[in-house]
Amino acid sequence: MTFHDIFKSGFLENMASVSMLDMILVLALAFGTGLFIFLVYKKTFSGVMYSSSFGVTLIALTMITSLVILAVTSNVVLSLGMVGALSIVRFRTAIKEPLDIAFLFWSIGAGIVLAAGMIPLAVIGSAVIGIVLLVFVNRKSHYNPYITVIRCDGYESEKRVKEYLDLQVKKCVVKSKTAQKGSVELNLEIRLKDDNTDFINRLSEMDGVYSAVLVSYNGDYMG
């Protein structure tokens, strides 16, 4: 086989199947969309440890997906091989926040739609999704559940604490109770009427109450 035979193959023809203008346009739009997704993620992040690498991953994922789909749509044979190649890929990174999954699928979906040539759908759809996330994720609500840990000296103090909390909060439910000689510890789930938490200060000053702790509860809640 000579160099002439190699150049007669269809490899160089595949190189011209996607124009340079299409590649530049798709990559530019994918970068802009991925950057928008990254900014929305940064604005709506409410976890404990912010990971800047995950935000950059959203941009890269949008661009990489666009490249893959652009190659697949330009060659039917390549699309079949790509399906088999990607089927052996396994991701083992744990997703700590459920909302992060939505951002990952958003990046992948935007990259696919852009490479398919549906630019208005990708741009308008991403704008609508971003607005929805900004509105609902950043909405502060005092109806979020809280956990209150109360340590008191006995039944009478426990009764006064429960009666006081029933007047101060919207909802109060006993989740657990630990009783020892001369000490009772209560774990109560409460829903605030507003964002005022001064009742915890007054609660800690009541006779028979050793301590009062208020903790924001961000776990899964089964109402």
155: domain CATH number is 3.30.70.260
Q: Are residues 127 and 158 in the same domain?
A: no
Confidence of residue 92 (pLDDT cuts 50, 70, 90): low
Query: What are the φ and ψ backbone dihedral angles of 208, each rounded to 5 degrees?
Result: 90, -5
Which pLDDT does position 2 carry in this prediction?
52
Can you tell me the distance from the alpha carbon of 188 to that of 54, in angstroms, rounded to the nearest whole number? 36
Q: Is the pLDDT of residue 181 over 80?
A: yes
Please count the structural domains in the chain: 2
Average pLDDT over residues 133-154: 79
Task: Give this prediction's pTM.
Answer: 0.62
- Tell me, yes or no, whether 167 and 94 share the same domain: no
Residues 127 and 149 in one domain: no
Asked whether residue 222 is domain-assigned, the answer is no
CB contact at 8 A, 79 and 72 = yes
Q: Does residue 169 sit within a domain?
A: yes
One domain, residues 206 and 133: no
Tell me which of 47-61, 82-96, 150-164, 197-211 is least confident.
82-96
3-12, 47-56, 133-142: segment of lowest average pLDDT = 3-12
CA distances from 3 to 10, 13, 14, 23, 121 (A): 13, 16, 18, 28, 45
| pLDDT computed for residue 220 by the predictor | 46
Q: Is residue 223 part of a domain?
A: no
Assess if residue 45 is contained within a domain: yes
Instruction: Say if residue 35 is in the same domain as residue 58.
Output: yes
H-assigned helices in 138-195: 155-168
Tokens of 207: 């006779």
- 37 & 99 share domain: yes
Q: Quick one: 44 and 118 in the same domain? A: yes
Q: Do 128 and 202 belong to one domain?
A: no
Percent of the chain with pLDDT strictly greater than 90: 18
Please state the rounded mean pLDDT for residues 28-40. 93
Which of 137, 159, 176 corresponds to the end of one domain? 137
- Coil, helix or strand for 19? coil
Average pLDDT, the chain: 79
Say whether both 120 and 191 belong to one domain.
no
Do residue 83 and residue 149 come from a single domain? no
Cα separation, 3 vs 86, whole angstroms: 32
Residue 37 has pLDDT above 90, yes or no: yes
| Domain termination residue (choose one: 110, 137, 164) | 137
| pLDDT > 90? residue 23 | no
Flag whether 221 is in a domain: no
Residue after which a domain boundary falls, among 137, 156, 183: 137
Quickly state the pLDDT bin for 221 (edges 50, 70, 90). very low
Which domain, by its residues, includes 60? 3-137
Confidence of residue 110 (pLDDT cuts 50, 70, 90): very high
Same domain, 77 and 103: yes
| pLDDT surpasses 90 at 189 | no
Confidence check: pLDDT of 203 > 50: yes
Q: What is the pLDDT of residue 223?
A: 40
8, 101: one domain? yes
Q: Give the pLDDT confidence score for residue 59 in this predicted structure.
A: 92
77-81, 119-123, 127-131, 192-196: segment of lowest average pLDDT? 77-81
DSSP state of 195: S
